[in-house]
Structure 1
Amino acid sequence: MAELRRYRTVVSDSALWAGFEFRTGDVVISTPAKCGTTWMQMLCAMLIFDTAELHRPLTEISPWLDAVTYDTAAILAELESQQHRRFIKTHTPLDGLPFEAGVTYICVGRDPRDAMLSFEHAAANIHPDAITSGGLDPQVSQPPSEDPLERFWLWADAEFTPESSTFGVTLANLVHHVRTFWERRDDPQVALFHYADLKADLPGQLRRLATVLSIEASEQRLEQLAAAATFDRMRKRADELAPGVDAKLWRSNTNFFRSGTSGQWHDLLDPAAVERYTGRVAELAPPELAKWLHTGWSGLR
């Protein structure tokens, strides 16, 4: 078995997985930041519990195991006590996770440009008290430049690194994360979803997820559950669904679900900038993966 790569940022450390005891049936939701993590957690919750009504905040039911801003011992104890099928959040790529038999590993991709802009909005929404109480440097949440285009190129041109003194959110790291799943996409334990596909056909993607998790549900039930997991419906339930509500992480829980739209990068990048960006992606990903990242599975048909 290959040695696991260790990923560390100001908010996470993949080495914390070493203390976790897997069970057959566990689900690991591993996504780059702002690519649909909470959405996928909600979809898994609805299928596992066969309801859209949760008995407590989603972040408690499906904790971020390797976050250093939480009490790891308490998270491990919580997961050990759970009797239902467990589904756990992480932002660690697949090559940094223990790969255990009987466990399903799910990744969600998104157009990296949309993910980058969404992350900027999320960083601006972090409550100052959460930064200081969590032991984070206040400068971590500050933009490195006032110019949004300059920030974009800092993000796009940065090299991949498994360790970062900030959040580790760069184009290279996002592509690498998805690529660790892409290269194992034919493994029955691995499933790749895309934000664009979820937006275009949520009932169909929920059906696919049910198949991945070997959960039986009628078409009528899938339609009902999908209707409860639209972006607008989740936004209205931000106080129970947004991550970090227990730690009062956000200035506004509602603004965590800011818009859920795609293509806002069009307002930032002119044709020359798009060409430069496309060239950078080509340095990081093979053509089929690059296309999938920007279109989802529908774009490969």
Structure 2
Amino acid sequence: MTCNAGRIPSVTSIHSSGVPHPSSPDPGPPARKSGQVASQWPDLMRWSRRPSGCGAIARPAGRPIGRVPSVGSSGSAGASGGRDAAPHRVVPVRVACGDRRTLPSMAESAECHRKNGSEFAVSTSSYPPSRVYRSPLLDSTRWNSFEPRHGDIVISTATKAGTTWAQRIVASLIFRSVRLPRPLMELSPWLDMAMVPLADVLATLSEQRHRRFVKTHLPLDALPFHSEVRYVVVGRDLRDLALSTHHHARSMSSAGPRAALAAAAQAHGGETLSSFRPPEVPEDVHAFWREFFTRSAYPWESDGWPYNSPTRHLSSWWEHRSEPNIRLLHYQDMLDDLDGEMRRLADFLGITVDERVWPDLVHACTFAEMKVNEDEIWDSGLSGSALGSWNFFHKGTSGQWHTLCSEDELALHDRALRRLPEELRTWLVRDPSARS
């Protein structure tokens, strides 16, 4: 039988191979004999087979789209992303399996690969980014080289919105263990981080035989969108996020992380990367607050300095939150009900976990436990050397702005919020003290 893996006409092709479809029944941990201790994580090598007879998926040619059409469908795409995006019709077309020229369903794709003796399935449709983010820290064009696998997970957050926390949760669900086989930053690389050689990141991803989960700080319109990749997006109240960003940026520009970053860059990337310096930010939190809410590192954005805008990041995903492969989480919900949020996320990812180990997984993903076990987070690479050289996990709490910010400063926050849709504002703003 010929696999019904096809191709969308494009300039750049992306071969894909990957894990079982997320909607497929999860196989669970390997069977064990009576009295035998369960494996610390599922058999990773069971994902090692590549698909046979499967075509490549490619991004469509023509003008970038600003709006992602419904997953797996063709139709018009209105401009809502990049400023230069215009309405654009994208028609995914299949070639293969005789004269059939329509996109197969997820179930058909999985069935096709199973009959071909492979547990992998290729992504069925892809839409290109309409915006480029490039700075000494971030380069969205690196995603052009990403080869998606069926069932890949992309974790997208603004800086300090709960990125590492979400990565740790997803890792616990994938490996079904409180222990991880490798440091978290190695298991879940940050693809758009410009300072790490792209070839090294791609090699790491290519060699992985577990279900992959990749980190990004990019909004939706700066990423290629694949219909059979799962996107986990985390939002956080902007007031809490601003204070956490101040601590992060100040710490990164201090002597210890600067030295660690320079040394790691020299070892991994040569002189060009070793000359990178984190942005200088005001020590005074009030001065930083004004900068954070009035400008960005990118000229088309209005907040988030010294990084990209958290409002624009979240609004890009919010517009498409009804897509079946996008899941939005809120940082405060994770604080309030970690067990429930992890269960809902496991259901979204199609992962089943033995109830006997579930309490241990939830405990391992608490903020306090991650802070105690930071050695499980950082690798010996560029980002790990810098981020692991200081107290990365600060407080992980909400509402500190109550005692720090003046009415004028809170007005800056309110002005940034007004750029968001009303429903998103209602969802995003959280004040735990108001419930007491």
Query: Secondary structure of 1:193's partner?
Result: strand
1:295 alignment partner in structure 2:
430
Q: Provide the rounded CA distance (Å) in 2 between the counterparts of 1:291 and 1:88.
A: 29
For 1:233 and 1:264, locate their aligned partners in 2 and report how far apart those are by CA, in whole Å. Answer: 21
Structure 2 gaps of 5+ residues are 1-63, 66-127, 266-272
Letter in 1 for 2:289: F
CA–CA distance in 2 between the matches of 1:87 and 1:251?
A: 21
The one-letter code matched in structure 2 to 1:183 is: E
| Residue 8 in structure 1 maps to residue 134 in structure 2 | yes
Give the letter for the 1:106 counterpart.
V
Letter in 2 for 1:149: H
Match of 1:120 among 246, 252, 259: 246
One-letter amino acid matched to 1:150:
A
How many pairs are equivalent? 290
Secondary structure of 2:136's partner?
coil
Correspondence for 1:270 = 406
Question: Structure 1 pair 146/39, CA: closer, same or farther in 2 (3 Å)?
Answer: closer
Take 1:82 and 1:159, find their aligned partners in 2: how far apart are those partners? Answer: 35
Could you tell me which residue of structure 1 aligns to residue 99 of structure 2? Answer: none
1:103 aligns with 2:229: yes
In structure 1, the gaps of 5 or more residues are none
Cα deviation, residue 81, structure 1: 1.1
Query: Do the aligned residues in 2 keep the contact of 1:235 with 1:257 (CA within 8 Å)?
Result: yes
Structure ID, larger Rg: 2
Alpha-carbon separation, structure 2, partners of 1:73 and 1:280: 38
Distance 1:220 1:182, change over 3 A: farther
Contact preservation (8 Å) 1:29, 1:41? yes
Asked which structure has the greater RCO (Cα within 8 Å, sep 6+), the reply is 1
Tell me the amino acid that sits aligned with residue 189 of structure 2. P
Alignment partner of 1:132 is 2:257: no
Q: CA deviation at 1:169?
A: 4.1
The CA deviation at 1:106 is: 1.0
Percent identical residues = 39
With the length of structure 1 as denominator, give the TM-score of the two structures.
0.88
The alignment partner of 1:295 has SS state of coil
User: In the superposition, relative to structure 1, how do residues 137 and 73 fare at CA in structure 2: closer, same or farther (>3 Å)?
Assistant: closer
Q: After TM superposition, list the pairs within 5 Å mapping 1:131-280 onto structure 2.
A: 131-133=261-263, 134=265, 135=273, 140-143=278-281, 145-158=282-295, 161=298, 169=306, 173-242=309-378, 246-247=381-382, 248-250=385-387, 252-253=389-390, 255-280=391-416
Q: Residues 268 and 250 of structure 1: is their aligned pair in 2 closer, same or farther, counting only changes over 3 Å?
A: same
Whether 1:23 aligns to 2:157 is no
Question: Could you tell me whether the CA contact under 8 Å between 1:114 and 1:263 is conserved in 2?
Answer: yes
Partner SS, residue 192 of structure 1: strand
- Amino acid across the alignment from 1:132: A
- Inter-CA distance 77–140: structure 2 relative to 1 (3 Å threshold): closer
Query: 1:37, CA displacement in angstroms?
Result: 0.5
Tell me how far apart the structure 2 counterparts of residues 266 and 147 of structure 1 sit (CA, whole Å): 17
